[in-house]
Amino acid sequence: MAADDRPQITLIAPPSFDPQTFSDRLGCVLDGAEIACLRLSLATRDEEILMRAADAVREAGHARDVAVVIDNHLILAERLGLDGVHLTDGSRNVRKARKDLGADAIVGAFCATSRHDGMTAGEAGADYVSFGPIGATSLGDGSRAEFDLFEWWSEVIEVPVIAEGALTADLVARFGPVTDFFAVGEEIWGTDDPLSALKALLKPLG
């Protein structure tokens, strides 16, 4: 696959982590792989924990010119100097996020498996739309974002698209030609060497 056609990578931080120890692990991955964007996707609603985690991820990302977005928290995105938000409820809040954060902020929308929701998000001003999971997972209702959705999107829609959820090297090989980004997170953080795990996952891209 030509370098110009190769999908870029969004790196999703784990749902919980110790900011002090995670900074080194994150830095290792950022220094060893080309990452386009970092996504902070924490399970907690505790604002203090979110702020400490965001500080650690922002410092690591911005030191390497990597944009950082946070799931859903419009106020924290602004307050903490992040680059934007990743909305997990589809197109519902895209217009509000764009209005609140301004034209320069990154606003992305996860639209699960819904082509209609993705199109609505794009029309509302989303910078990218994310679909998933593309792999088998016990999370959610078991539905998957199929290859046909990405194939159609890549041919018809100009808004960049992200493939995510239960990625494998085989899925990366298959979806590589029809997606602009892969979002990688849980696939690598549970391993002893996240950078090696990421490289193995992306090896089919060449």
The predicted structure's pLDDT at residue 4? 64
Q: Provide the CATH number for the domain around residue 25.
A: 3.20.20.70
Structural domain of 136:
7-205
- Taking only the tens place, the pLDDT of each residue in 65-121 is 999 999 999 999 999 999 999 999 999 999 999 999 999 999 999 999 999 999 999
Domain count, the chain: 1
pTM for this model (two decimals): 0.96
pLDDT average, residue stretch 157-163: 98
Mean pLDDT of 12-30: 96
Q: Is residue 2 part of a domain?
A: no
Task: Tell me, yes or no, whether 1 lies in a domain.
Answer: no
Is 169 inside any structural domain? yes
Please report the DSSP string for 79-107 in residue order: HTT-SEEEESSTTTTHHHHHHHH-TTSEE
